[in-house]
Structure 1
Amino acid sequence: MKKTKVGLVGAGGIANGAHLPAYAKMDTVELAAVCDIQVDRAKAAAEKYGIPHVFENYEEMLDLPELDAIDICTPNYLHSIIAVKALNKGLHVFSEKPDAVSVEEVEKMQAAAAQSGKTLMVMRNNRYWETSKYLKQYIQDGKMGEIYAGRCGWQRRRGIPGKGGWFTTKEQSGGGPLIDLGVHMIDLTVWLMGSVRPVSVSGCTYSKFADGGDISDSVNSSFGDAKADGIFDVEDLAMGFIRFENGACLQIEFSWASNIEQEQFFVELRGTKSGSTWSSVDQKLKIFTEEYGQTVDLIPNIDNSRGMQMHEANLRHFYDVLQNGVEPMFVPQQGVDMIKILQAMYTSAQTGREVLL
């Protein structure tokens, strides 16, 4: 099989922590080029992983004739800009989340993908947990009945990433924990619920730790490049409520810093036949149902440490779509719906009103 030749844009934390190690295990993909505005980072990645071409300017990299696809690992605001240019040049595109920082930008991505006929996929790695796959199958088999309500979130006690850098600069990130963490858990929950279309959003956002200390108890706060004299103009807590066209609803909460007991992400679903909860605190999926006239609690023996890493699994799926024509688990409309939710949350927080989509 001919290898898919890929150019990596961005050689920072997520590239080194997840994407590059994944590519090192994939024998059907060849990293042909790497690009970073801090060219020393690109050179270091090229030397470590045997990548032949190094660029400082991504537009020059896109002109490399042998490329089939690119993988975008840049600050959020560049995702859509780079993706559209690559799609217009006839390249397939994989991007880190979030899809874009505005509805206008994500719709440009969707249009470019449709016009070019190339595949556009954005990281949705939490769908690849063993628990996620088990619960999805459980739901598809009808064992949960009609899912009509849910809750999800990712709460940190102290875990602001790259404080003062691009993560906390709205112009570059698009927002705080809502757009950083919210994409993960909202996507997972809505996917489990059947990717139903959102119709309205309401929410509140707060920024209470911008001037606080630099205490951290989360490994995730190591992402990004912190700047002592940098910008912090995003929220550190977002809470909201989403309604869907089928009548279902979803409560959401995301924080980088809150006075809570401990960091956790969680998903809770309520169906007519069963309900479920899953939290990172104990990694146990718990299903609440009834049998033979009695309520029953089920705890499947799922080992989330087994198998591939989730980022690797998502990347492998992308290249399986390109090389073998398998049905994509993610389509651009899901990205449009996601950014509509996030933008509506910020608008609702500013106006104090529910926003119709």
Structure 2
Amino acid sequence: MAKKLKLGIAGTGNIFKQNHLKTLLEHPEVEIAAVCDANEAYAAGIAKEYGIPHVFSDYREMLKRSEIDVVDICTPNLYHSEIGIAALNAGKHVFCEKPEAVNPEEARKMAEAAKESGKTMMAMRNNRFTHASQYLKKYITDGWMGEIYTGRCGWIRRRGIPGKGGWFTTKELSGGGPLIDLGVHMIDLAVWLMGNPKPVSVSGATYANFHNNELSDSTHSQFGEKQKGGVFDVEDLAIGFIRFENGATLQLEFSWASNIGEEMNFVELRGTKSGSSMKKGELQIFTEVAGRIADISPLLGKQPVDTHGENLKHFIDVIQGRSAPMLTPEHGVDMISILAAIYQSAQLGREVRLDDKGGSRNVA
């Protein structure tokens, strides 16, 4: 019988309550042993409601408890790597909400801490677990797509700024706007489907034109806590272009607010045998069959997938030795390096190359 894993939760806000809590409470191999939040009274209320025995306001105190096997990090972005590194050094497995860090240096420190500790470290990449993503990954792995040489991805909203004035829109705490918030999801999905090619250079631009606009049409704007008159020093739209070592390329666009028809997330890939389009969870494949151009719409599961829950279950399977990890800390370093280089390119107004350690260097 698999070992019962005791979890410590760092950060008990909306992302934990809405996307982590149910799966962890229902998993037969998991017990939530402690919760930690800067708002200790709020954490204490959650602990009382769900019978969690220990409450902390300082994660360092929580890490001292020897019975805790795993730390699940759901804090604002700035603290992900700080808590993650400390937890790994304390001999705990770590699951972290995206992004795992706000800069490449911190992402590398996390990867190194995971390697040295021998513990599992994984960040949330829940969009890999949809019906469409799982089917397309198998379609590609089985060779039906051929060589994937280019693609485009994005998540664009008409009006959907989360927690305006709070930590989402405060660069010091979040690391950036929609590029780091939404880009992690769809860039990761595209790069994973492409076979995780190594990025070598990026070019990007960012815009901020909706700071004073209070309209909202997206349920996603409910994340975070709005603060009237608070900080808004991040972009509301980012576009970019990535080149990979194998010659493949990827276009991208991410926005919290722009004048478009409707909110949409998408990954489109072009292969030598087939192309594909995933929009709003729907998958279409464009190919040739029996000498004719053909469109394929696979019949996928109709029941929606709790993708956050499936990602957490996969993480537990990895710890218990039942699965190999779909995401490695090194993949995380590549992701954060891409995001940081796009921001740097936008600031410099020119392409930025990535070095072999995932850092960046400028080119005229």
| Residue identity in the other structure for 1:154 | W
2:299 paired residue among 295, 298, 301: 301
- Superimposed CA distance per residue, residues 251-302 of structure 1 (whole angstroms, 9 cap, x where no aligned partner): 000000000000010010000000011111xx32110000121100011111
Structure 2 CA distance, aligned partners of 1:170 and 1:44? 30
SS in 1 for 2:67: coil
Corresponding residue for residue 101 of structure 1: 102
Q: Residue 112 in 1 paired to residue 113 in 2?
A: yes
- Report percent identity of matched pairs: 60
**1:194 matched to which residue of 2?**
195
The residue type paired with residue 306 of structure 2 is: Q
Aligned to 1:219: 219
The more displaced of 39-48 and 221-230 is: 39-48
The equivalent of 1:184 in structure 2 is 185
Does the alignment pair 1:320 with 2:317? yes
- Residue 153 of structure 1 deviates from its aligned partner by 0.2
2: distance between equivalents of 1:296 and 1:50?
Answer: 55
Opposite residue 299 of structure 2, the aligned amino acid is N
Corresponding residue number in structure 2 for 1:355: 352
**Corresponding residue of 1:209:** 210
* Cα distance in 2 between the residues matched to 1:50 and 1:18: 19
Is 1:335 the counterpart of 2:332 in the alignment?
yes
Aligned to 2:362: none
Does the CA contact (< 8 Å) of 1:83 and 1:95 recur in 2? yes
Secondary structure in structure 2 of the residue aligned to 1:240: strand
Q: 1:325 Cα shift?
A: 4.5
In structure 2, C-alpha distance between the alignment counterparts of 1:195 and 1:130, rounded to whole Å: 20
1:26 aligns with 2:27: yes
Q: Which runs of 5+ in 2 are unaligned?
A: 355-364
* Cross-structure match for 1:161: 162
Maintained 8 Å contact 1:268/1:276: yes
User: What do residues 136-173 of structure 1 show as CA deviations (whole Å, max 9, x unaligned)?
Assistant: 00000000000000000000000000000000000000
Residue by residue, what CA displacement relative to the aligned partner does 1:57-110 show, whole Å, maximum 9, x if unpaired? 111111112100100000001000000011111111000000100011101101
Unaligned runs of 5+ in 1: none
Indicate the residue corresponding to 1:274 in structure 2: 274
The answer to whether the Cα contact below 8 Å between 1:168 and 1:176 also exists between their aligned partners in 2 is yes
Task: Tell me the number of residue pairs that the alignment of Structure 1 and Structure 2 aligns.
Answer: 353
Paired AA for residue 192 in structure 1: L
Matched ranges for 1:67-106 at <5 A = 67-106=68-107
Distance 2:22 2:236 in 1: 31
Match of 1:291 in 2: 289
Alpha-carbon deviation of 1:50? 1.6
Rounded Cα–Cα distance in structure 1 between residues aligned with 2:64 and 2:322 = 26
Secondary structure in structure 1 of the residue aligned to 2:241: strand
Residue 292 of structure 1 aligns to which amino acid in structure 2? A
Query: Where does structure 1 differ by over 3 angstroms across 4 or more consecutive aligned residues?
Result: none
Name the aligned partner's letter for residue 219 of structure 1: T
TM-score by length of 1: 0.97
2:122 alignment partner in structure 1? 121
| Equivalent position amino acid for 1:151 in 2 | R
Q: CA deviation at 1:2?
A: 2.5
Partner Cα distance (1:253, 1:48) in 2: 41
Structure 2: how far apart are the matches of 1:295 and 1:44?
59
- CA drift of 1:44 comes to 2.0
Structure 2 partner of 1:346:
343
For 1:2 and 1:171, locate their aligned partners in 2 and report how far apart those are by CA, in whole Å: 39
CA RMSD, 1 decimal: 0.9
**Alpha-carbon distance between aligned partners in 1 of 2:277 and 2:60, rounded to the nearest angstrom:** 45
Q: Distance in 2 between matches of 1:267 and 1:250?
A: 10
Question: Contact 1:155 / 1:265 at 8 angstroms: preserved in 2?
Answer: yes
Aligned to 1:6: 7
Q: State the distance in 2 between where 1:128 and 1:304 align.
A: 14
Aligned residues of 1:129 and 1:304 also touching (Cα < 8 A): no
Which string of whole-angstrom CA distances, capped at 9 and with x for unpartnered residues, describes residues 302-338 of structure 1?
Answer: 13534x4111101011111111242111100000000
